[in-house]
Structure formats: C-alpha cells, structure tokens
C-alpha cells in the first residue's frame, strides 16, 4: 500500500480566501482584449506559424517544423469556440492539413513533444468538427511518440537519438502534457498499448520527478540497461536542485490530467502538493519568477507562461476536487487572480506586438526568449479564459 501524500499548507489561506471569485464582466473583458490580439495576428499566420518566442515582442513567421506550432492552431480553435468566427476555423483547418503532411513526412518529430504538436491542433479538430484528417494525423503522431517509449525504464525519452547515451533514458516533466495523446489514441483504436505506456511513464514521473517537499526535477535520467534510476538534473532551471517554474506548472496540470485519464486517485493529492509549493513561492502578483528558488524580493524575470499553465492546471484540478475540499474554492480564486494579473499587467501591446502575453521566458540558461511572448503562454492563457467563461471540454481529454 502506497503512503498518503503529505503537502505543505498554503501560507496565505486567509488572504486567498478574500480574493474575488471569477466574475463574468471581468472574464468577458479579458477575453475581448485577448481576442483582439489574436485577430491582429491572424492575417500573418494563416499558412505559417509564429516562432516559439517573439523577438522584440514580434513573432517571426516560420513553417511547420518546430515543437510549438500546435499551440498556434490551438489558439485558432479556442478563438473559434470563443467567438464563433468562421475565419478562425478556416485557418485552423488549413493548418490541420499541414500537420497531417508533417506526420506523414516525419518532419522534426524525433522528440516527445508530439502531444504539444498534435493534441491542440489535430485531435482538437477531430473533437470539434469530426475532421478525419485530424484523427489520422493524431494517430500517426501517437505512433511516432510510441517509438520513444522504452519498456526497460518505463519512460518516454524526451529528446535526441534513441541510441545517444547522453539522452537515452531521460524523461522530463513537460512530457506529462504529451501523454494525453497516447490516452486519446488508446480510446480511438481500442489498443491498450498506448495507455499502458502512458500509465507507466506517469508512474515513473511521480516516483522520480517529484521531490519529497513537493518541488520537482525538470529532468531525470534512467539506466536503459537495468531500468535503475540515476540522477535528477535540470535543463532550463537555475540549478539541478532548484525548481524550474514552468516545469512545476507542467506538473500541476499534467498530474491532474493524468488522474482524469488514468483514474489513479493519488494523482489529485500529488497535483495539490505541487500546486501549494508553486503558489507559496510566488509573490503577491501570483506570477512566478522563472525559477521558484527566487523569492518575492528578487529582480529575476517573471515567467508569465508558467503562470498561464499553472492557472489551467488549477482550474482543471478544481473540476476533480469534492465540493467539501477547502482547496477547491481557494484554487479557483487563485487561478482567477493569476489570470487577472496577466490581463492587467502583462498583455503584449496591441499596436507593437503580434503576441498575446508579454514577459515570458523560453530558455533562461541560453538567454532565449527572455521577457518575450512565448507561444505556449499565449495558448494556455486563452485556454484559462475559456475555462473561466464556460464549461469547456479540454482538448487534452
């Protein structure tokens, strides 16, 4: 029998309890401002895609060859759902055809980010419109992702050639958001192999990526010969023993989705453990610095994309908590406070940017996309808004 999951209490519960609950007027205003920015960008990105992060607040255009392209198509689907405008659907459908071709030609697919690419684009198309191209593309992507599953270690290798000793056996927290593609493929085909791989990876992520205090490693290395654990490290965080903010946010959202998809009830408590650790290390704005090792007095850059991911994770977590759980109300208030802060203080300028959220961080150690718009941040911010406005069926489920 596995032990109960113990987590630190929220440090400002009385303060959080005084935060307002989501209000329709505020949500609609935030949606209008967000959609204005998406609409401004639409003419430039109908048959091309924004780069992963902006340069001087402007996304360069690129072809469908990066790990982030699916987020833009997801933004188009969300915008269609929020507005009913056919322009967004038409553009999204053009891009789904491109994703099908990409999967067939295997263009830059030697990584685990197939879920980021195909869930909010192709699988969303199948869910929303019954697109056969979306379904075929999603299943091809799931097969590509399965190539990276190693049954000895029970993990999906994040990056690199599968025979590269430096990369083999490496899992990262981000992969929790790629696993929904495998659960979806299992439902669509009736084949258990997809679900079994996702279940195993999820269990290994819980076991090795989460530290006892509720912080997380960004990456963890396994021995592919024996399956034994080797070491936890970071790739984008401050240090191996620090806690990269966006990785923690991926954990909150990913383990919550993991519960919804696997039915493993302890993952709800695990997501709460990660959530409390994350929230307790934000300052009063509830937007984290790029690594949670930096406290409220730090002048290190914020990462708005981490806040957007965390807000979605909290809102998904609220859906699965019983009515009597005191965290349910607190998480709803905190998520709305995060979104309000992003709307109030971190929107990209409408007249000088083609992005949505400013002040994101792509890769601090490499100084890429620091203080810029990040495409996943834009997507998850819009997803948080649709979650706040209505009962929404997530693309990830």
Catalytic positions are 113, 174
State the burial class of residue 87 (Cβ atoms within 10 Å of its Cβ: 0-12, 13-18, 19+).
Answer: middle
Contact call for residues 267 and 252 (beta carbons, < 8 A): no
Per-residue tokens: 163: 């025979």
Among residues 218, 220, 219, 183, the alpha carbon closest in space to that of 198 is found at 183
Hey, what are 22's tokens? 């989501």
DSSP string covering 8-72, please?
A: PPPTTHHHHHTSPPP-HHHHHHHHHHHHHHHHHHGGGSSSSEE-SB-BTTBPPEE-S-STTHHHH
Closest CA to 251 of 181, 202, 324: 202
Output b/e per residue, 47-84; b: 16+ Cβ within 10 A.
ebbbbbbbeeebbeeeebebbbbbbbbbbbbbbbbbbe
Alpha-carbon distance 157 to 135, whole Å?
A: 24
Cα 116 from Cα 159, distance rounded (Å): 14
Cβ contacts of residue 284 below 8 Å, gap of 6+?
296
- Sheet with 219-222, strands from edge to edge, namely 170-172, 219-222, 229-233
């Amino acid at each position: 029998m596995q032990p109960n999951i113990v987590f630190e209490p929220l440090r400002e519960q009385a303060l959080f309890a005084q935060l307002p609950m989501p209000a329709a007027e505020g949500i609609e205003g935030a949606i209008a401002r967000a959609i204005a920015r998406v609409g401004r960008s639409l003419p430039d990105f109908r048959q091309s895609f924004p780069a992963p992060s902006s340069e001087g607040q402007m996304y360069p255009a690129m072809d469908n060859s990066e790990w982030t392209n699916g987020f833009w198509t997801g933004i188009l689907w969300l915008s269609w759902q929020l507005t009913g405008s056919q322009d967004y659907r038409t553009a999204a459908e053009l891009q789904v055809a491109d994703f099908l071709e990409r999967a067939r030609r295997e263009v830059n697919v030697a990584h685990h980010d197939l879920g980021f690419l195909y869930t909010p684009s192709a699988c969303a198309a199948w869910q929303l419109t019954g697109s056969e191209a979306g379904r075929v593309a999603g299943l091809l992507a799931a097969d590509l992702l399965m190539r990276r599953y190693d049954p000895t270690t029970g993990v999906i290798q994040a990056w690199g050639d599968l025979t590269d000793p430096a990369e083999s056996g490496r899992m990262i927290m981000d992969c929790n958001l790629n696993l929904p593609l495998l659960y979806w493929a299992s439902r669509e085909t009736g084949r258990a192999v997809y679900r079994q791989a996702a279940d195993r990876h999820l269990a290994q992520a819980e076991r090795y990526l989460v530290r006892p205090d509720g912080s997380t490693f960004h990456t963890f290395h396994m021995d592919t010969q024996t399956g034994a654990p080797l070491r936890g490290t970071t790739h984008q965080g401050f240090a191996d023993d620090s806690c990269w903010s966006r990785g923690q946010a991926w954990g909150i959202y990913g383990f919550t989705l993991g519960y919804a998809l696997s039915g493993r009830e302890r993952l709800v408590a695990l997501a709460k453990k990660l959530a409390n650790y994350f929230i307790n290390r934000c300052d009063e704005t509830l937007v984290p610095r790029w690594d949670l090792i930096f406290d409220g007095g730090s002048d290190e850059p914020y990462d708005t994309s981490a806040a957007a991911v965390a807000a979605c994770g909290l809102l998904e977590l609220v859906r699965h908590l019983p009515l009597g759980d005191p965290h349910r109300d607190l998480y709803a208030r905190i998520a709305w406070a995060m979104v309000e802060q992003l709307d109030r203080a971190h929107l990209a300028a409408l007249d000088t940017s083609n992005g949505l959220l400013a002040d994101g961080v792509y890769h601090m150690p490499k100084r890429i996309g620091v203080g810029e718009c990040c495409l996943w941040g834009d997507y998850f911010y819009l997803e948080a808004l649709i979650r706040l406005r209505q009962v929404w069926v997530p693309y990830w489920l």
